[in-house]
Structure 1
Amino acid sequence: MRFRLDQASGVPTYLQLVQQTKHAVRYGMLRPGDRLPTAREVVLDLAINPNTVLKAYRELEREGFVYSRPGAGTFVADDAPAPLARSVHQPLRRSLDRWLAGAHAAGLDRESVVALITLALNDAFSEKEAARA
């Protein structure tokens, strides 16, 4: 696994590491028993503070996604959330890819796309939560 940082996102670096790891587990890119990069590897790759990586890994451990073995590394936990079935996420991903291509063709930049998606997510989930109440 290789992490990527978005300095313009406003999301703290450690949370970006946490989110990317969770996504990799949920989409089957990381499986139980897989070793995460060492803190040293991440520090050298991203030029960030080692404490940032350790904070992210501690948060992932607290949430049950990973476990640490001293001297061996940090690994995806056996009881980490099961990946979404490919039959569920692949068609959705293809639809999203088509939508993004359309947004790009319409001249929307990344920031505008993120804003539009965020607005749609907020609307969709607030409607679901209101329906449950």
Structure 2
Amino acid sequence: MIDYRIDRGSGVPAYVQIVEQTERALRMGFLKVGDKLPTAKEVVAATAINPNTVLRAYRDLEQAGLVELRRGLGTFVTRSLARPGAQDDSPLRREVTDWVDRARATGLERADVLAMVTAVLDAYDNEHHSRTPDDRDGRRRTHDRA
């Protein structure tokens, strides 16, 4: 089961934090198809947020096709977002864990690490989306003229 953490100082609405944390758990394989999410009452007790906030997040997740609300039974995962390499035992996960250990050892805080990773991903996406299909590997191609 997932334990939601609400950061009131982040400026991100609580329902968005719940959606993002659920999506992250689905991507990492912590939540699997058929798993039950905590009830709104359980989330409220753990986070001290309004029950309507939890219900809004769960509705957003349902509209995204990730969960199903079953009246009287709860909210259940209907789709996974897990990709190969994201599992706890994958080599990529170990590399990221080692990198985060080094980043934290240099004094970077969570927000610094997230900002750095986001900046690198943004640069990567910009570089790869701005190229033509012929030069995505970094080389300009010249076409032979016969």
Instruction: Please tell me the TM-score bracket, short chain as reference.
Output: 0.7 to 0.9
Q: Which has the larger radius of gyration?
A: 2
* Distance in 1 between residues matched to 2:125 and 2:7, nearest whole Å: 25
The reply to whether residue 105 of structure 1 matches residue 113 of structure 2 is no
* Distance in 2 between residues matched to 1:96 and 1:10, nearest whole Å: 27
* Distance in 2 between residues matched to 1:21 and 1:130, nearest whole Å: 31
SS in 2 for 1:75: strand
Deviation at 1:82, TM superposition (A): 4.8
The reply to whether residue 39 of structure 1 matches residue 58 of structure 2 is no
Which residue of the partner structure matches residue 91 of structure 2? Answer: 91
Instruction: Write the deviation string for residues 96-133 of structure 1: whole angstroms up to 9, x where unpaired.
Output: 11111211222223332222222112111122221367
SS in 1 for 2:125: helix
Distance 1:67 1:103, change over 3 A: same
Normalised TM-score (structure 1): 0.86
* Distance in 2 between residues matched to 1:39 and 1:56, nearest whole Å: 10
Deviation at 1:95, TM superposition (A): 1.1
* Distance in 1 between residues matched to 2:16 and 2:132, nearest whole Å: 29
Q: Once superposed, what is the RMSD of the aligned Cα atoms?
A: 1.7
Paired residues of 2:33 and 2:80 also in contact (CA < 8 A)? no
Structure 1, unaligned stretches of length 5 or more? none
Which residue of the partner structure matches residue 6 of structure 1? Answer: 7
* Distance in 1 between residues matched to 2:132 and 2:44, nearest whole Å: 44
Which residue of the partner structure matches residue 26 of structure 2? Answer: 25
Distance 1:111 1:82, change over 3 A: closer
Which residue of the partner structure matches residue 124 of structure 1? Answer: 124
SS in 2 for 1:67: strand
Instruction: Write the deviation string for residues 3-24 of structure 1: whole angstroms up to 9, x where unpaired.
Output: 1122333221111111111121
SS in 2 for 1:9: coil
The aligned amino acid for 1:111 is: A
Name the count of aligned residue pairs.
129
* Distance in 2 between residues matched to 1:18 and 1:32, nearest whole Å: 16
Q: Report the identity percentage.
A: 47
Q: Going by fraction, where is helix more abundant, 1 or 2?
A: 1
